[in-house]
Amino acid sequence: MSPNTNMVCGFLGGTILSVEGGYRVLQHPRPERVFDRFADARWFLAVSFCDHCPTPAGILNHEGRLSFQNEAALSLGETNFLPLEHRKAMFDTCLTLSPGESAAYALGSSQLNIWGIEIDSRYGRVAIVQSQ
């Protein structure tokens, strides 16, 4: 490790290093990429986490909107994946979870996994939602 590295942390299966000028994500396809803000590095890993899920997955914000959805969720359709009438309850579920904890949410005959994560403290929590 470089003597300029001050912090190393894991987040959603990835690793963030603080380096001179910002934050580097080891899993980024461009190893030289440096994020200016820690929240930007965390956002990259959250999107990457959802994008690599083989089942529909997305990031639900406090307004009930999907900030990101993977290809499987896009193919299914946003409201088929997360019906509008369930989004508030799903988000409320994420608010009760401790860091690293997940909860199951029954949606008809299927089940979703929900994680509550904080990417940027200025905006509060978001929920990562993945169908099983």
Q: Per-domain residue ranges for the chain?
A: 1-52, 54-132
Distance of CA 123 to the CA centre of its chain: 14
The runs of H, that is alpha helices, within 9-70 are 38-51
Separation of alpha carbons 73 and 55, rounded Å: 7
Residue 48 has pLDDT above 70, yes or no: yes
Map tokens 């019906």 to a residue.
Answer: 83
**Mean pLDDT of all residues in the chain?**
90
Cβ atoms of 35 and 43 closer than 8 Å: no
pLDDT tens column, 81-98: 999 999 999 999 999 998
Q: What percent of the chain has pLDDT over 70?
A: 96
Asked whether the CA dihedral 129, 126, 93, 116 is positive or negative, the reply is positive
How high is the pLDDT of residue 12? 82
How high is the pLDDT of residue 122? 84
Question: Domain 54-132: which CATH class?
Answer: alpha beta
pLDDT tens column, 94-121: 999 988 899 999 988 889 999 999 888 8
| Predicted TM-score (pTM) of this structure | 0.87
Reduced to 3 states (helix: H, G, I; strand: E, B; else coil), residue 5 is coil
